[in-house]
């Protein structure tokens, strides 16, 4: 007879196989495989968002380290110059959107709240940065935004099954039914 899980995955879950035998190491590893990626991407995006929010020069239209200077520098070499032009209409607002987006994506990913939506947001941020800021990097694998984009895809597909608010909420919904 096949066993079934009794608790939220990743939160002290034991598998009931006969008399409550614990799950195997392979099963636990498979269940928690995306956790290191979630921690890395979540912490990295929180840091990136906070780093931008703490740097007042980042939000300026011009000057060293500003979003405006960066956008002007990459405008002619980006894959989508129209996106850069859009950002240049209001560099400060675009800078805040990126910083707050990174912060929200990072928090959502780290705690596993709306994890697939957070991963989609992270993937879209990484995609937009790859197509604009790091598009001209040669060879392409030196640019980090493409690697971040690829790192978001497993989380977009798999969500946050272990140690997440999503898993806790799913468990509560199952108990209510």
What are the tokens at 58? 């980042």
| Percentage of residues of the chain with pLDDT beyond 70 | 88
How high is the pLDDT of residue 20? Answer: 54
Which one-letter DSSP state was computed for residue 20? T
Q: Are 41 and 155 in contact (CB under 8 A)?
A: yes
Which one-letter DSSP state was computed for residue 24? P
pLDDT digits (tens, 9 = 90+) for 87-109: 999 999 999 999 999 999 999 99
d(CA 169, CA 138): 44
Q: Is the peptide bond before 139 cis (omega within 30 degrees of 0)?
A: yes
Say what the pTM is.
0.84
What are the tokens at 156? 């977009």
Rounded to a whole number of angstroms, the distance between the first and last alpha carbons of the chain is 25
d(CA 89, CA 67): 12
Backbone angles phi, psi at 17, to 5 degrees: -125, 95
pLDDT digits (tens, 9 = 90+) for 67-81: 999 999 999 999 999
- Which element (helix H / strand E) includes 150? helix 144-158
105-132 exposure pattern, b = at least 16 Cβ within 10 A, e = fewer: bbebbbbbbbbebbbebbbebbebbbbb
| Mean pLDDT of the 160-174 span | 91
d(CA 5, CA 13): 7
What are the tokens at 171? 């468990």
How high is the pLDDT of residue 163? Answer: 94
């Amino acid at each position: 007879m096949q066993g079934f899980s009794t608790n939220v995955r990743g939160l002290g879950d034991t598998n009931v196989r006969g008399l409550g035998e614990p799950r195997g190491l392979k099963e636990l590893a498979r269940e928690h495989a995306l956790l290191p990626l979630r921690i890395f991407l979540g912490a990295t995006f929180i840091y990136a968002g906070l780093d931008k929010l703490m740097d007042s020069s980042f939000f300026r239209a011009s000057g060293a380290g500003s979003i405006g200077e960066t956008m002007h520098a990459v405008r002619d070499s980006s894959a989508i110059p129209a996106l850069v032009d859009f950002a240049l209409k209001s560099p400060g607002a675009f800078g805040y959107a990126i910083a707050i987006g990174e912060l929200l994506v990072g928090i959502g990913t780290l705690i596993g709240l709306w994890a697939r939506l957070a991963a989609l947001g992270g993937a879209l941020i990484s995609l937009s940065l790859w197509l604009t800021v790091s598009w001209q990097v040669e060879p392409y694998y030196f640019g980090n935004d493409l690697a971040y984009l690829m790192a978001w895809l497993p989380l977009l597909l798999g969500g946050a099954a272990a140690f997440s608010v999503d898993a806790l909420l799913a468990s509560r919904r199952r108990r209510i039914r």
